[in-house]
Structure 1
């Protein structure tokens, strides 16, 4: 079957550039990636990943992190992993 249907979409340039850099590492171009996505939608009969409306707890966590509330900072990954192991 020939590829003749067109898709046009507007997207933020940085989102596009980041995604296309990942596609290149995977040996894909944007057309290949969109085709894969559409095929997965067909196979799944819906989106091929969960899409959920955040609950109140998640929304509060988003707001808190945007404000810098309750964040833990580390000077190194080693320090972070040491802290995680302590729990």
Structure 2
């Protein structure tokens, strides 16, 4: 009897998990890059700490593609320099508030 109950509950749990996965909608927004213009001169870093290497300096008014908002301080961004795309991290304060 215990084996049948265990089997029944495990089968019910698996069915509810698969049904929930099919009907739920994702709350994450679409991750396509969004173009922004910088408001101040900023640096594109290869990481998110003070020891990260600087990839390039982005001038004021330059277009940057923001790919993801990583945390409270940084965004993942892509910049084109000399025809070559560079991907790294920039401070959020480089962009206007929206």
Give TM-score scaled by structure 2 length.
0.18
Q: Which has the higher contact order (CA 8 A, sep 6+)?
A: 2
More strand per residue: 1 or 2? 2
Larger radius of gyration: 2
Using structure 1 for the length normalisation, give the TM-score: 0.19
